[in-house]
């Protein structure tokens, strides 16, 4: 069955003219200069995307990447400089604070103003008003001018209007981050209701956990260009590359090429996924044979889910070996809940580094980062290292995650003149299975002690 398009964006550009001085704007507008007095800035450049009915799609990217501009074009607040836009369905949008509201009107007057702008009659708004006010829950403030509202009250009313007019497409910018935790939870419950009803949701958020949890797909923007689109997990990993300036175009959703030709790095994936084979390869093979065997091991591991590893870094250090051991010191990827376990990794230093940071983290299969730590947080290693050294790092802790499957990521990073730098990262390099005979609510077991007493 062919999916129905809700939003079609093809070749969208949004260009702004930038002037060094105000008088240049006047001179150019009056045609008094033969040469341009402005420079062109592309807020969006040749953006293409299709969003289908019933999808929940997240847009992520750094500040200034064009996320809000794209939403404004889709909602009709801005017009594109070039390109084609097609929207099939009634849109309700919650953009930045203040959009669509008259600051002099009170809350109820603004409800009617927004409803009218969206094509509802006064009678239809009358019917929806109790539900809107109940969701907003701002009490008597609804009778006061909205210019007197706090940002939290403002977004409560705006979101209540946006979701209670029965839209077919809901578009939300970062505004939800303004509300308190209870309101955010209420909004995300509404997202779940909308998804079940088959409505389309498009939203921008810096909350990567929300992107992982609620979105079917994610779109990555940077400097006005769409870099990639794919699963939330893949796009979040690519976004983290963008943040440290190590994103490699054009293959965001494919494996990043090997960091270095160092055979130790190529050997790492094979070691992490088959420690027995790795041990055999380390014993008595010549360098050429080792290169061939480890390259083949990397290729074979790449076909497995846990070794579909996103790898990148500057190459000043490299993770050459990694594995997990249980409370008895046995190598394994299955840990009993409640027992201690240790994450091991060896790191080869290729250049002198000032206070490198060694880290590991655990995600669920949707890509939500659940826990992790590093040597800086733990204040366990704050020393400089020399080229040629090899460090062995172990993280030992108790397993309190619920039973299930998880992914382990590793990293070596540091600061160079206050600039955060990634030397080597391996995302989702190991699978981890937690075996449990008792699961509680959520991700972690708080190990509660329960006592029930008779009351006389």
- Phi then psi for 398, rounded to 5 degrees? -95, 140
Please check whether residue 242 lies inside any domain of the structure.
Answer: no
**Both structure tokens of 87:** 């929207």
Contact 297, 274 (CB under 8 A): yes
Closest CA to 247 of 409, 429, 422, 374: 422
When divided into structural domains, the chain yields a total of: 1
The sign of the CA dihedral 322, 324, 330, 333 is negative
CA distance 196 to 215: 13
Please check whether residue 207 lies inside any domain of the structure.
Answer: no
Which range of residues forms the domain containing residue 305? Answer: 263-435
Closest CA to 222 of 28, 430, 47: 47
Instruction: Please tell me the predicted confidence (pLDDT) of residue 285.
Output: 39
* Average pLDDT of adjacent 10-residue blocks, the chain of 456 residues: 87 91 81 81 94 94 91 91 93 72 88 82 88 88 89 84 84 73 80 87 87 91 94 91 78 40 49 44 39 34 48 94 95 94 97 96 90 95 94 96 94 93 94 91 91 92
Closest CA to 238 of 258, 218, 223, 224: 218
Instruction: Please tell me the predicted confidence (pLDDT) of residue 152.
Output: 81
Strand order in the sheet with 82-87: 38-52, 5-19, 82-87
Please check whether residue 103 lies inside any domain of the structure.
Answer: no
Please check whether residue 82 lies inside any domain of the structure.
Answer: no
Instruction: Please tell me the predicted confidence (pLDDT) of residue 368.
Output: 87
Please check whether residue 39 lies inside any domain of the structure.
Answer: no
Please check whether residue 284 lies inside any domain of the structure.
Answer: yes
Instruction: Please tell me the predicted confidence (pLDDT) of residue 249.
Output: 61
Please check whether residue 302 lies inside any domain of the structure.
Answer: yes
Please check whether residue 139 lies inside any domain of the structure.
Answer: no
CATH number of 378's domain: 2.70.50.60
Helix/strand/coil percent split, the chain, to 5:
30, 35, 35
Rounded to the nearest angstrom, the gap between the alpha carbon of residue 13 and the centroid of all alpha carbons in its chain is: 25
């Amino acid at each position: 069955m062919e999916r129905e398009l809700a939003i079609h964006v093809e070749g969208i550009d949004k260009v702004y003219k930038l002037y060094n001085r105000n008088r240049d704007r006047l001179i150019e507008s009056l045609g008094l200069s033969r040469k341009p007095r402005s420079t062109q800035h592309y807020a969006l450049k040749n953006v293409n995307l299709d969003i289908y009915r019933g999808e929940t799609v997240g847009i992520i990217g750094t500040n200034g990447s064009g996320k809000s501009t794209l939403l404004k074009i889709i909602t009709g607040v801005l017009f594109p400089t070039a390109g084609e836009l097609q929207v099939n369905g009634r849109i309700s949008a919650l953009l930045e604070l203040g959009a669509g509201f008259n600051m002099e009107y009170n809350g109820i007057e603004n409800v009617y103003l927004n409803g009218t702008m969206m094509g509802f009659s006064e009678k239809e708004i009358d019917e929806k008003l109790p539900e809107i006010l109940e969701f907003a829950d701002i009490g008597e403030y609804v009778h006061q001018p909205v210019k007197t509202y706090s940002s939290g009250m403002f977004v409560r009313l705006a979101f209540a209007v946006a979701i209670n007019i029965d839209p077919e497409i809901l578009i939300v910018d970062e505004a939800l981050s303004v509300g308190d935790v209870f309101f955010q939870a209420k909004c995300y419950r509404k997202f779940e209701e909308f998804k079940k009803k088959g409505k389309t949701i498009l939203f921008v958020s810096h909350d990567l956990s929300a992107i992982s949890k609620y979105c079917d797909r994610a779109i990555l923007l940077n400097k006005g260009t769409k870099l990639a689109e794919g699963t939330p997990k893949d796009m979040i990993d690519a976004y983290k590359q963008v943040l440290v300036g190590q994103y490699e175009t054009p293959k965001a959703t494919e494996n990043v090429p090997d960091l270095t030709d160092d055979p130790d790095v190529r050997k790492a994936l094979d070691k992490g996924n088959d420690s027995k084979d790795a041990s055999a390869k380390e014993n008595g093979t010549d360098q050429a044979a080792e290169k061939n065997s480890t390259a083949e091991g990397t290729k074979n591991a790449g076909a497995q889910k846990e070794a579909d590893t996103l790898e990148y870094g500057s190459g000043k250090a490299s993770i050459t070996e990694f594995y997990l051991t249980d409370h008895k010191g046995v190598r394994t990827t299955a840990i009993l809940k409640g027992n201690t376990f240790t994450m091991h990794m060896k790191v080869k230093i290729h250049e002198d580094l000032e206070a490198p940071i060694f880290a590991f983290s655990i995600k669920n299969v949707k890509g939500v980062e659940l826990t992790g730590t590093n040597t800086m947080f733990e204040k366990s290693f704050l020393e400089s290292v020399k080229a040629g050294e090899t460090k062995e790092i172990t993280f030992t802790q108790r397993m309190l995650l619920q039973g299930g499957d998880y992914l382990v990521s590793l990293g070596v990073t540091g600061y160079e003149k206050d600039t955060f730098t990634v030397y080597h990262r391996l995302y989702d390099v190991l699978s981890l299975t937690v075996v449990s005979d008792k699961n509680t609510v959520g991700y972690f077991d708080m190990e509660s002690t329960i006592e029930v007493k008779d009351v006389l």
